[in-house]
Amino acid sequence: MTEINTQELFRSIPKVDEVLSSPLLQEYAESIPRSVLLNATRSTLEDIRSEISKGSRLEPVTMTEVTTELRARAEDLMQASLKPVINATGIIVHTNLGRSILAEEACDAVAEVASSYSTLEYDLKTGARGSRHVHVEDLLCELTGAEAAFAVNNNAAAVMMCIAAFSKDKEALVSRGQLVEIGGSFRVPDIMAESGAKMVEIGTTNKTHLSDYEAALNENTGLLLKVHSSNYRVLGFTAEVELAELVELGATHDIPVMEDQGSGVLIDLRNYGLPYEPTVQESVAAGATVVTFSGDKLLGGPQAGIIVGKAQAIAKLKKHPLARALRLDKMTLAALEATLLLYRDEKKAVESIPTLRALTMRALDSKAAAESLLALIQSALEEKGLSHLCELSISSEVARAGGGSLPLADIPSYAVSLASEGWSEDALEHYLRLQSPRPILARIHDGALLFDPRTLTPGDDIKIAEQILSFVASRI
Ligand SMILES: *Cc1c(COP(=O)(O)O)cnc(C)c1O
C-alpha cells in the first residue's frame, strides 16, 4: 500500500520542462534569466523528491506549489549575496558585519576614483609615472610622527611582511604572553612560521622581563616583536616589557623592534571616558622601528594594514617581493586617504567617522536616541491600533567596541527593548533578520529583543519601525 502511494507521489512530480513552460511562470520568464529559473526548479524538485523518499510528504505535488516555491528561490538567487544590513546590536566594530563603516567623505572618495581615471600611479607635476604609495604616506607621517609609512591589504599582511622582511631565516623574540590568536586563522606563531622566521618564545604567560629578552639574544636574532594584546588582557600578577625598553635593547644590539598594535588608535580615548589604549603616536615616539595596525578597527577606515616607522625600514618593505602581492587597490587607498584627512581635526574625526562616533557617544545621547527610536516604533504601532500587543521600554545596556578591540571597555548604553506575550523574541528576531532588501540584526536578551541605536545609521530607525509594524500586523 505504502509502496504504491510513494510511487504515485513520485509520479505526481512534474518534469523540469513542464514546470519551465508552465503559464504560472510566464511573467517571470521575462524578468529572470532561464538559467536561474532552471536552477531554482531543479532544487525545488529535488527537495520534494527527498521529502517523498523520507516519507515526510503524503500529498501529491501540484504545479502551483512547485512554481510558488521556485519563484521564491529564483528571487533569492537574483539577490546579491553581499548586502547591507542594519546593525542594531550595539557592537561597533562587528567582525561579521564588516567591521567599520566608512565616513561619508571616504565613501565619496571611493565613488570618485572608482568612476573616473585617477592619479593612482601618475605624477601630475612631472607628467611621469608615480607611486601609489605616496597618497597616504605623508599624511600617515604627519598624523603619527613617523619618518615613513606604507599600507598593505590588512594588518595580518602587514605583520607577515614585516616579519619576513626583518627576520626571515633568523630568530624573532616574542613574549609567551603575546602569542596571540586574533580570530579566524591569524595566530602569531603560524604567521612567524609562514614568514620564515624562527620564533623564540621568552618569559612566561603572565610575566616577561627585559632580562628574558637579553638572555635570548644572540648573533642570529633578527627581530624583537611586541604584540599588543588587543583582544584580551592578562590581569593580576603580570609584567610586560615596555616598548621603550625594547627599543633601547634593540638599539644596543642593532636589532629592529616591531610592535603589532592591532587596533590603530590615533586619539586618546580616555578623553571620551573610555579605557586607555596606546596610540600609534606613542609607539612611534617610543622609537619602534615599525608599528603595524589595522585600517578598519578603531581607526574607522577601510580594510588595510598600515605600517609606520623608520625611513630605512619602510624603504626595505617597499622593495620586498610581498609588497606587490599585498598592495592596496585604488578604492581602498581613496577611502584610507579620506579617512586620515579627517584626523587632522580630532573633533571632526570623532563627529564624522562612524566607528569613533559610536564609540564616543555619551550615555545620555544614547538614551535620547533610544527614546526617539522607541517613540517612532510606538507611533507606527499606534497608528494601526497595534501598540497594545507590544511591551516597549528603554533598557540600560552595555555596548561593545567589538572586532577584538578594547576587550574590557563596558560602554554604558541604552537600547529599546521589545517583548510580547503574542510571540517569542526568536520569531521577531528571525523575521527581521530575513527582511529584504535590508535585514535588521538585533540582540536577544532576557525574553526581549534589543535595538541599540549606537550602531544605527541615519534612516535605519524608520526601517526598524516599519518592519516591526509589518511583523506585528502579520501576527493578528
Ligand atoms: C586584528 C589584529 C590583527 C589582524 O589584523 P587584520 O586587519 O584583521 O588583518 C593582527 N594583530 C593584532 C594585534 C590585531 O588586533
Residue 3 pLDDT > 70, yes or no?
no
| Structure confidence at residue 2 as a pLDDT band (50, 70, 90) | low
The DSSP string of 205-250 is: SSB--HHHHHHH--TTEEEEEEE--TT----SS-B---HHHHHHHH
To test the pocket of ligand 1, the residue of 99, 159, 185, 328 to mutate (highest count of ligand atoms within 8 Å of its CB) is 159
> What is the identity of the amino acid at 395?
S
Instruction: Compute, in angstroms, the gap from residue 358 CA to the centroid of ligand 1.
Output: 21
Nearest CA-CA partner of 143 in 258, 293, 257, 274: 293
Which residue's alpha carbon is nearest to atom 11 within ligand 1? Answer: 262
Least confident piece of the model among 8-12, 99-103, 379-383: 8-12
To test the pocket of ligand 1, the residue of 94, 154, 186, 261 to mutate (highest count of ligand atoms within 8 Å of its CB) is 186
Instruction: Compute, in angstroms, the gap from residue 103 CA to the centroid of ligand 1.
Output: 21
Residue 143 pLDDT > 90, yes or no?
yes
Q: What is the 8-class DSSP label of residue 369?
A: H
What is the average pLDDT value for the chain, to the nearest integer? 92
Atom of ligand 1 nearest to the CA of 227: 13
Q: What gap in Å lies between CA 286 and CA 417, rounded to an integer?
A: 46
Q: What is the 8-class DSSP label of residue 217?
A: -
- The pLDDT, as a whole number, for residue 231 is 63
pTM of the model: 0.91
Residue 367 pLDDT > 90, yes or no?
yes
Strand 221-227 and strand 181-183: pairing? unpaired
Strand 257-262 and strand 221-227: pairing? parallel
Q: What are the beta bridge partners of residue 221?
A: 171
- The pLDDT, as a whole number, for residue 148 is 98
Tell whether ligand 1 has an atom less than 6 A from the beta carbon of residue 230.
yes
Atom of ligand 1 nearest to the CA of 186: 4
Residue 226 pLDDT > 90, yes or no?
yes
Q: Which uninterrupted H or E stretch holds 165?
A: helix 155-167
Strand 305-309 and strand 148-152: pairing? antiparallel
- The pLDDT, as a whole number, for residue 332 is 98
Which residue's alpha carbon is nearest to atom 12 within ligand 1? Answer: 262
Q: What is the edge-to-edge ordering of all strands in the sheet holding 198-202?
A: 148-152, 305-309, 290-294, 257-262, 221-227, 171-175, 198-202
Q: How far is CA 197 from CA 79, 96, 181, 190, 222, in A?
A: 45, 31, 18, 10, 8
Residues 6+ apart with CB under 8 A from 121: 129, 130, 131, 132
Residue 416 pLDDT > 80, yes or no?
yes
Q: Which of the listed ranges 98-102, 169-173, 261-265 does the model predict with the highest average pLDDT? A: 98-102
> What is the identity of the amino acid at 417?
S
Tell whether ligand 1 has an atom less than 6 A from the beta carbon of residue 291.
no
The secondary structure of 73-91, three-state, reads: HHHHHHCCCCCCCEECCCE
Mean pLDDT for 259-288 is 94
